[in-house]
Every structure is written in structure tokens, then in C-alpha cells.
Amino acid sequence: MKRNTWQREAVRGALDSTGGFISAQALHASLHATGSPIGLATVYRALADLAGQGEADSLQSPDGESLYRACSSDGHHHHLICRNCGLTVEISATEVETWAKSVAAEHGFTQAAHVVDVFGLCASCSALLAAGAASA
Ligand SMILES: [Zn+2]
Ligand SMILES: [Zn+2]
Ligand SMILES: [Zn+2]
């Protein structure tokens, strides 16, 4: 019997309606905005739970914040993430897979796994930035 089912479902629902990666704090704030009484600690736990069961992807932002997302691909994949608006593109990186396997094998490592996520500015944020720079 799970006590936290509704909280978990609320967190999953909020995550589903978010396009990109989001922090526990931001997700908590958006749940609160919709009138949910859920606590921040519960949001943290639910997110860790979903990530642990493979129902959400988690990663560290360049500033060391944990971010979560309900991903559409089940399998191993990588992300391109806009650090301004959070837009996320799921990408495959065949070169990385090959490189990771061969570099692990070179050092006698087996069962190698890796996490590769690329942070940058998406096309529209880049355009906005360029427009802002031009008008300044
Ligand atoms: Zn993903
Ligand atoms: Zn962007
Ligand atoms: Zn990979």
C-alpha cells in the first residue's frame, strides 16, 4: 500500500505538462500555482522515485542543480537543453556510443555507461539575444 500515490501522480502530471527539464523547486512552484498543497520535500521524493524507476530522466545542470523531465524515449538517449528557456531536444549520439565503448575497452572497463547532455541556447533564444544585442 503506497501512501503517496496522489502526490506522485500530481508530480508526474506536472512533469508531463512541462516541455523541458525542470528543477524540483520550479515544479513545486507550478504545482502550488494550480492550488496543490503538496510540499517541496514530497516533490523531491516523488521526482527521485520517478527517476529511479526510469519514468523520468534526471540530470545536473551546469550550476549543479538537479533537473527532471518525463522523456518520450525509453531507451538510452542524450539531450540538448536550452539554458535560457529549458527547451529540450532528445538526440541520439552514435559517435558518443562508439567512442565511450572503445575508450572503456582500451582501459579494460566493461559495462560502461555514460551521461552526455549538451547545454546551450536554442535557435529562438539565440535569435532573441542577437536582436537584443543589435538594438542595444
Ligand atoms: Zn530524455
Ligand atoms: Zn531557448
Ligand atoms: Zn549515449
| HSE toward the beta carbon, residue 21, CA cutoff 13 A | 24
Minimum-distance ligand to the CA of 84? 2
d(CA 79, CA 122): 12
Angle at 65 between CA 96 and CA 63, to 5 degrees: 75
Residues with CB under 5 A from ligand 1 (ion): 57, 71, 90
By C-alpha distance, which of 99, 90, 98 is closest to 19?
90
Confidence of residue 4 (pLDDT cuts 50, 70, 90): low
**Ligand 2 centroid, distance to 87 Cα (angstroms):** 6
Q: Which domains does the chain have, with CATH numbers?
A: 1-71 (1.10.10.10), 73-136 (3.30.1490.190)
pLDDT in tens, 35-82: 999 999 999 999 999 998 888 999 988 888 899 999 877 788 999 999
Residues of the chain with pLDDT > 90, as a percent, come to 63
Residues with CB under 5 A from ligand 3 (ion): 96-97
**Burial of residue 113 (number of CB atoms within 10 Å: 0-12, 13-18, 19+):** exposed
Whether 1 has a pLDDT exceeding 50, the answer reads no
